Homo-oligomer: A and B are copies of this chain.
Amino acid sequence: MDSKTIGILGGGQLGRMVVEAANRLNINTVILDAPNSPAKQINAIGQHVDGSFTEYESIVKLAEKADVLTVEIEHVDVEALKKVKAKFPHIEIYPLPETIKLIQDKYLQKEHFIQHGIAVAESVALVNNSKDELLSIGEKFGYPYMLKSRTLAYDGRGNFVVKTKDYVDEALEFLKDRPLYAEKWCPFTKELAVMVVRSLDGEVYSYPTVETIHQNNICHLVYAPARVIPTLAEKASLLAKNAVKSFPGCGIFGVEMFLLPNNELLVNEIAPRPHNSGHYTIDACITSQFEAHVRAVAGLPMPKGFTEFSTTSTNSIMLNILGDRNVPDAELQICRRALETPHATVYLYGKTTRPDRKMGHINIVSSSIEDCQTRLAYILNDESYLSKGQSLPPIELVRPVETPLVGIIMGSDSDLPVMSVGANILKKFGVPFELTIVSAHRTPQRMSQYANEAAKRGLKVIIAGAGGAAHLPGMVAAMTPLPVIGVPVKGSTLDGVDSLHSIVQMPRGIPVATVAINNSTNAALLAIRILGAYDAKWLQEMQNYMINMENEVLDKAEVLEDIGYEEYLSTKLKK
């Protein structure tokens, strides 16, 4: 697609996935890392360099084979990169060496963000790593506070929690001889992250806001989208974009954030490269973070919207596969369970196993986060990922089951003769549905539970039939955000007009989709039309139904014209 060759400093899993994206676009890549590193394994035509991304000589060798240099890790030799740029002025380096240098030092990174109006946790740099210094910080920040290495810290290594002043000595011993800074304690409720890709002309495009869950300081799970209200997700996205706009150059950036109890957001740190929190994008988004990075550094098109979820109903959970702590390769059992789980995709990185090493990841993509969680519970064989009341699914349950899409409820079994006609329509169309009795007046708790849980259980529409005072449809509608269809059931007095008015005349704020008296057929057909609004299968089925209906009437018209109205009246319409 492009004649430029991209040289990558680092050949781990991030480089590997960049190479996979570049391969698909016929873009050449060359890798600098140890022989047989994960990224090199999947590129047999690149003239790779065996060496280290911290050695000047190796970086020069890479530059001799490339037109653009990029990194899969920020701990590279920046001075070497600058010298390389001076030696080979035609070579482009993204992210810019200045950006990498700034980001390598977490304290400078924080100062940079403060200068650019990006919210971060309050921090102070240590001057002489002395006990007095730490004690006076304790007085300023209070305890606990974080003591952090300014450089070469990742996956929690290089961090120490100073719980009280009694921990000061231990902290200095743990982090001795490193440049340090202290950070005020950040009592976050969630950790959020946003991948942002920047084009050379300064446009930034954000991926969806996600939630990261760590175990032993290593990323364990990523929930996409983050389980926060949309306003907060949008706020996180804006913060991330502003943070990335503060750096010139181009490429992908991972922005990690803390969400505080007061809904404030602080940027924790930024990675100038593909990031573990963006692996879900391979399956869940229109374009993966890896292809986005290739496009950015190769100057290929980045149209608006290319970083979004593939569909509006995309939900995803990413699970990191770490090397088992006890039995080598035992982590492959998790992968095997993932292969047994539809909607889960396994990625392994071609590494030899070591305890806690990132060996691969699994992307689960489905139309609801609850469904993703059920599949995750199966894969991990772990009940703690299930909602309250759910039990660990047998393998059959993670296979597609026909979850009911429509719930039919009625106040009394006396409504069944009317409501069963609609149920038969759903059966005829093959729509999965459930049918039960829920009475607003006799089982108010049951009604409330039914309405509250309906959306979570995967129902898309509720049909409620009721006669007389007919409160059921409106009360259910008041407790669920789903569309509710009301069927007025004709009683022994008032011809059902009482129920019709009771169901249709809802106050502003809570709608009930009301159909004709006793007409559960139309309620069922309306439910199918609602499913068809987003699911082309049901739209097509409804179209076919309407065509058949038209044909039936045309056939009757033909017979009527053929045999005459008197004959028709006496033969076709007699009971």
Contacts and interface: CB of A to CB of B under 8 A. Distances in A.
A433 interface: no
Contact of A540 (B229, B303, B535): B229
B310 A348 contact: no
Given A230-B540, A287-B345, A522-B508, A535 B532 contact: no
Contact of A533 (B369, B530, B539): B530
Question: Interface size class for chain A?
Answer: 35 or more
A511 interface: yes
Contact of A303 (B395, B484, B521): B395
Contacts of A399: 303-305
Nearest to A421: B508
A543 B45 contact: no
A290 to B, nearest CB: 12
Interface in A16-40: 20, 23-26, 36, 40
Interface in A243-284: none
B41 A23 contact: yes
A525 interface: yes
Nearest to A505: B516
A455 B41 contact: no
A393 interface: no
A162 interface: no
B534 A533 contact: yes
Interface stretch (A196-204, A333-341, A382-390): A333-341
A515 B515 contact: no
B533 A505 contact: no
Contact of A230 (B295, B314, B537): B537
A418 interface: no
The copy count of this chain in the complex is 2
Most buried by B among A336, A360, A367, A369: A367
A522 B509 contact: yes
Contacts of A346: 1, 24-25
B504 A485 contact: no
A481 B340 contact: no
A507 B553 CA distance: 14
A210 B515 CA distance: 38
A102 interface: no
Contacts of A303: 339-342, 395, 398-399
A67 B238 CA distance: 52
Nearest to A288: B345
B336 A301 contact: yes
A15 to B, nearest CB: 13
Nearest to A518: B508
A455 B478 CA distance: 29
A300 B348 CA distance: 15
A529 B507 CA distance: 16
A217 interface: no
With a 10 A CB-CB cut-off, give which of A336, A343, A522 has the most chain B CB atoms: A522
Contacts of A357: none
B515 A506 contact: yes
A554 B543 CA distance: 46
Interface in A539-556: 539-544, 546, 549
A535 B534 contact: yes
Contact of A536 (B24, B368, B536): B368
A400 interface: yes
A547 B43 CA distance: 54
Given A25-B348, A303-B399, A305-B400, A536 B315 contact: yes
Interface in A399-416: 399-400
A526 B511 contact: yes
Nearest to A46: B44
B535 A348 contact: no
A521 B301 CA distance: 43
Nearest to A368: B536
B536 A513 contact: no
B26 A313 contact: no
B400 A532 contact: no
Contact of A513 (B43, B514, B542): B514
Contacts of A526: 483, 511-513
B335 A533 contact: no
Given A313-B311, A541-B230, A1 B348 contact: yes
24 contacts: A1-B335, A1-B346, A25-B348, A40-B44, A41-B45, A230-B537, A230-B540, A295-B339, A303-B395, A312-B534, A312-B535, A312-B537, A313-B313, A313-B536, A455-B539, A481-B539, A482-B532, A482-B533, A504-B504, A508-B519, A510-B525, A511-B523, A511-B529, A531-B533
- For the complex of A and B, list the 6 residue pairs with the smallest distance between their C-beta atoms, beginning with the closest: A513-B513, A511-B522, A534-B534, A481-B542, A511-B526, A44-B44
